[in-house]
Structure 1
Amino acid sequence: MRRGAAFGVALTCFYVVLEATQFVYLGGLFQRIDPFLFGLIVFGGTAVGFTGWTWLVRPKEIAAARAHFKHVVLLNLCALVTFMSYLVSVQLIEPAITYSISSGMMPLSALVFAWFGVTKGGGLRNWSELAGTVVIFAGVVYLSIATLSGWSGFVRGGIWQGALGVATAMLDGVFFTLILALSGRLNAAGVGPAAVMGLRLLLYTVATGAVAAVTAQSMTPLPIWQLLGLCALGFVLAVPPLYVLQRAVALVSTFTIAVLTALGPIVIFGLQILEGRVAFATATLIGLSLYMAGALLTAFGGYRGR
């Protein structure tokens, strides 16, 4: 494996650990703060900071982004759908299931998009990759059924809330795969990770600001110091994973990232039990085991195919 590719794999694994921590603890944080106000402050600040820094220090990257304006617009639309879907899903269903369904949809989506020439790489190279992908799909289906049937450790509401949580988790995975592909194209065009990180959040910032202005009327206001403290904690949980992944995008294929991301749910399962907000559920553990087996099979097939 090339040194750059190995570093990309290491970054992706680090991203999985950070993202798992985020999925568990942000779900609890959103019980205390309006998630859209959180998105405005944390991701809006990130967008302004990274874009402003790039504008001042690396103006050529901004020029390259302008030259590929269509990709920037598509990236913003995908980021809007992804983050909105995540904010909804992580509040409605078990965090490990949100993550599993979302990350499971990524290799499946990568295959479909590769078939149509949207992403680089992504073709199945051997029977191990094929078998692993089928098992990942089975895991996604099983976890969806477990959530809708009430077998999982947490659903906020009834079957319709569970269905919405599952659907938004699927949307999150599909559109995040597109984010990886579009980010890779912008990287190849000379737009660095920091610039892509900031530029892709601009539309999301505007949208969350508009929603927060409406929902703020129905939320109990927090003291400003407590609000800023929670947002600072959220920034630590939410932003580093995005930047780490953005660095990895330039080094490894979309399919490799998608498969490694699929290894994360078991980390979330352990963390959410430690956090105490979600009850232990055997059905969830069975689904995650299915899912992990598929991810490992696919990863083994990817290693053999090099």
Structure 2
Amino acid sequence: MGERYFVGVLLVLLYVAIASTQSVVLNIWLVSINVFVMVAISFTIATAVFSAIAMYKQPRSFRPLLAEWRMVVAFNVVTLCNWLFYFLSVKYLEPSVAVTITQGFGPVVMTSWLLFRKEKVSAFTQTCHLITLFAVAILCIHVFVSRSAYSAYDNSQMFLGMVFAFLCCISITATVVISKKFAVAKIPATTMLSVRFPLLIVVTGAFIPFQQTLTFKQEDMFAILAVSLVGVCTSIYVLQRGIEKTSSLAVSTSLAISPLVVLGIQSVLTGYPLSNMLVGLVSLIVTVSIASVLYEGNVFKKQKTPSMG
């Protein structure tokens, strides 16, 4: 069982690598393309792909979802918040800052949720996530004081980006919790992902007619196709498999490693200069996240390993 825990963590880290690259690319690309068009088309493609796979491999796997229709609706609502807030936060904030909030702050939200439910969270992990809380707060202040000069947006838009990022973080935590419940119920990942995005598609599609000066080039379709197949289909399937194999807290904490990966990619692909403060805060969050994952993994392994005495 301990090996299964760490396999799940590795799958989440693979998701981190794919999603982090996507975050940086989208920050560059979304300046010239409409967010609603991109989301609506890319997730329509993703839904078609997962539906085709599920219908071919596990056509009977849809039946259990009929009894869990309320959970499916909730899954659609939090997914809408996940992606819409994610794309809007990446649009208005530099990638490393957006991902630090959306993913790095996740363990704080998850720990708060578990403690609210009176579930056990180790003192070590609570301390790690308290450090994360203070690091994210300092990061937000640093962005307004020192990083606004490098942004294409004004402070009010950057603040809006931060609000979207925190809302995205909360919805991601809810998604992990719901996804874990589906996994425990033995719903295949492809089946679950095929019913996850209809609300997101409908809402974003409804905004398209109201967008002014909407332009769409042929090369944009190729980019959207790449985002759909690699950035969406591959990444969320890998993440879902990771959720199936490890604990919800481990998933949220593993996702908190994303900011350092994004920071590295951002330094290569964009014009945002690095700062010692930014690198230090992101590194601190990643360090305590890794420490928490390893600690919880060892505790989990000891609990599942039968005594030899």
TM-score under structure 2 normalisation? 0.90
CA distance in 2, matches of 1:278, 1:39: 25
2-structure distance, mates of 1:152, 1:19 = 24
Match of 1:265 in 2: 259
For residue 218 of structure 1, what is the aligned residue in structure 2? 213
Unaligned stretches of 5+ residues in structure 2: 301-309
Report matched runs for 1:114-129 at 5 Å: 114-117=114-117, 123-126=120-123, 128-129=124-125
Shift of 1:178: 0.7
Supply the AA of the counterpart residue of 1:124: V
* 2:249 alignment partner AA: F
Tell me the distance in 2 between the aligned counterparts of 1:146 and 1:228.
37
CA distance in 2, matches of 1:57, 1:153: 52
- How far did 1:153 drift? 7.3
The equivalent of 1:234 in structure 2 is: 227
- Secondary structure of 1:279's counterpart equals coil
Shift of the alpha carbon at 1:8?
A: 1.0
Report Cα offsets for 1:77-131 as digits up to 9, x if no partner: 000011110111001111001111111221111112223449xx7x3213x3122
- Secondary structure of 1:32's aligned partner: coil
| Letter of the 1:250 counterpart | E
Do structure 1's residue 244 and structure 2's residue 238 form an aligned pair? yes
Name the SS for the 2:222 alignment partner.
Answer: helix
Q: Which 4+ runs in 1 deviate beyond 4 A?
A: none
Q: 1:152 to 1:133 in 2, by over 3 A?
A: farther
Matched, 1:95 2:95: yes
Matches within 5 A, 1:1-306: 2-117=2-117, 123-126=120-123, 128-151=124-147, 154-215=150-211, 217-222=212-217, 225-235=218-228, 236-306=230-300
Contact 1:40/1:205 (<8 A) preserved: yes
Please give the secondary structure, in 2, of the residue aligned with 1:200.
coil
Say how many residue pairs are matched: 299
Aligned to 2:306: none
Per the TM alignment, residue 227 of structure 1 is displaced from its structure 2 partner at its CA by: 2.4
Query: Deviation of residue 74 (structure 1)?
Result: 0.3
| Residue 152 (structure 1) shift | 5.9
The answer as to whether partners of 2:47 and 2:194 remain within 8 angstroms in 1 is yes
The structural deviation recorded for 1:25 is 0.9
Q: How far off its partner does 1:38 sit?
A: 1.0
- Cα separation, 2, equivalents of 1:285 and 1:152: 16
**Identity percentage of aligned residues:** 21
Q: Which runs of 5+ in 1 are unaligned?
A: none
State the Cα RMSD in Å.
Answer: 2.0
1:187-246 residue CA offsets vs partner (Å, 9 max, x unmatched): 22232111111211110011111112322x422332xx3122111222223331111001
Structure-2 separation of matches of 1:200 and 1:277: 35
Mean Cα deviation higher: 106-115 or 74-83? 106-115
Output the amino acid matched with 1:287.
L
- 1:250 match: secondary structure: helix
Distance 2:84 2:232 in 1: 14
Aligned partner of 1:232: which letter?
A: L
Structure 2 residue matching 1:149: 3-state secondary structure: helix
**TM-score using structure 1 length:** 0.91
Contact residue 183 and residue 249 of structure 1 kept, 8 A: yes
